[in-house]
Amino acid sequence: QESAIAEPYIHKDAEVVNMDDLTELGYKALYSRNPGAAGYYRSGADQEVTLAENVKAFRKLRLRPRMLCGVSHRDQSVTVLRDQLLRIPVGIAPSAMQKLAHPQGEKAMARAAEKAGSVMILSTLSTTSLEEVRQAAPKANLWLQLYVFKDRQITRQLVRRAEKARYNALVLTVDVPRFGHRVSDIRNHFSLPKHLTLGNFQDVDLQSFNSSNFGSGLEGYANSLFDPSLTWRDLLYLTSITSLPVVVKGVMTAEDALLAKAFGASAIFVSNHGGRQLDGVAATIEVLPEVVTAVGKHMDVYLDGGVMYGTDVIKALAIGAKAVFVGRPAL
């Protein structure tokens, strides 16, 4: 049951001094209640090389600070998508099924984004409907992450609902022609607990999702929806059915950044899906320079993957990202 004030999962006296401490305590608490959910959030694809490299790559970068610049009055605000003001250059990346982590799930996350003056990207595969999230945070800057599904009518309906609920942008994920091979989910036969549902698909039969006789139920369900035949022309389709700006998420090369720009993207989101899709691809911070060089003068470039500390944010902004997004740290 959802309550107005949920019981904290981490003991109030626990010593938390950095993001690593909070992450470890959070995973331990979640594992004690739902090992499958903990594995789902924590794991990456295959050998999890990219998952680890996302963090390691930031640590390889060195800062070159300038001194005596007068920093008594600091302004961390940034304007994204031409006219959307954020008080901080850190947004919340789309993460599916947040009620696995907390009873209030996406509602709590949206309220946090609203309070921080930031932006939250709601996953299409959320455990709360996009309308309920808007009701929970009426003034929040919300963007909707979505896919171009095999059934285009599903995509069109989600777009219309987002427009009606006053979402401010669409974030098209392009790095999922098929669901990532996530070993932890397969071993755990991961499926959505019976008391939860996918909020944006209330009328969808989730029997196949929860059927976990072999492997991950989520993988089978997602692959039944995703369209592996997508091309850049499908970006034209999406921009043709909405007046909302469309951010293309999953770009990892200068070539694709230029194609996204040519086919109507409003901004580029450098992302490798948190190391959860194709293992062995580069860390996002490693490819950020080439993407910024290709399109940074013409459109915003955002980044997620491996951002754990404020110094990580500084490094990404210094290279040319307009803002960064965090997924697991926010959870």
**pLDDT tens-digit map of 313-327:** 999 999 999 999 999
- Look at residue 8 and tell me whether its pLDDT is greater than 80: no
328 is in an annotated binding site: yes
Q: Which of 61-75, 180-194, 196-210, 225-239 has the lowest mean pLDDT?
A: 196-210
Q: Greater confidence, 11 or 135?
A: 135
- Rounded to whole angstroms, how far apart are CA atoms 144 and 161? 10
Q: Which of 102, 181, 195, 273 is catalytic?
A: 273
Q: Where are the domains of the chain?
A: 39-61+76-326
Helices within 137-182 (DSSP H only)? 152-164
Q: Greater confidence, 4 or 298?
A: 298
96 is in an annotated binding site: yes
Residue with tokens 């302004």: 75
Please compute the mean of the pLDDT values over residues 256-275 and round it to a whole number: 97
| CATH topology assigned to domain 39-61+76-326 | TIM Barrel (3.20.20)
- Rounded to whole angstroms, how far apart are CA atoms 119 and 112? 9
Residue 310: DSSP 8-state = H
Q: What pLDDT shows up at residue 220?
A: 66
273 is in an annotated binding site: yes
Q: What pLDDT shows up at residue 204?
A: 58
**Among 307, 326, 324, 322, residue whose Cα is nearest residue 79:** 322
- Rounded to whole angstroms, how far apart are CA atoms 275 and 199? 25
40 is in an annotated binding site: yes
C-beta separation of 266 from 43 below 8 A: no
**203 pLDDT band (50/70/90 cuts)?**
low
207 is in an annotated binding site: no
Q: What pLDDT shows up at residue 45?
A: 87
Q: Is 273 a catalytic residue?
A: yes
Q: What is the mean pLDDT of the chain?
A: 90
Amino acid at 57: A
C-beta separation of 46 from 40 below 8 A: no
Q: Greater confidence, 186 or 122?
A: 122
**2 pLDDT band (50/70/90 cuts)?**
very low
182 is in an annotated binding site: yes
95 is in an annotated binding site: yes
For 267-307, the pLDDT digits (tens) are 999 999 999 989 999 999 999 999 999 999 999 999 999 99
- Look at residue 1 and tell me whether its pLDDT is greater than 90: no
Question: Angle at CA 43, nearest 5°, toward 39 and 49?
Answer: 155
**218 pLDDT band (50/70/90 cuts)?**
low
8 is in an annotated binding site: no
Q: What pLDDT shows up at residue 72?
A: 95
C-beta separation of 304 from 312 below 8 A: no
Please compute the mean of the pLDDT values over residues 180-200 and round it to a whole number: 85
From its phi and psi, is residue 48 left (phi > 0), alpha (psi between -120 and 50) or beta?
Answer: left
- Look at residue 215 and tell me whether its pLDDT is greater than 60: no
276 is in an annotated binding site: yes
Q: What pLDDT shows up at residue 53?
A: 96
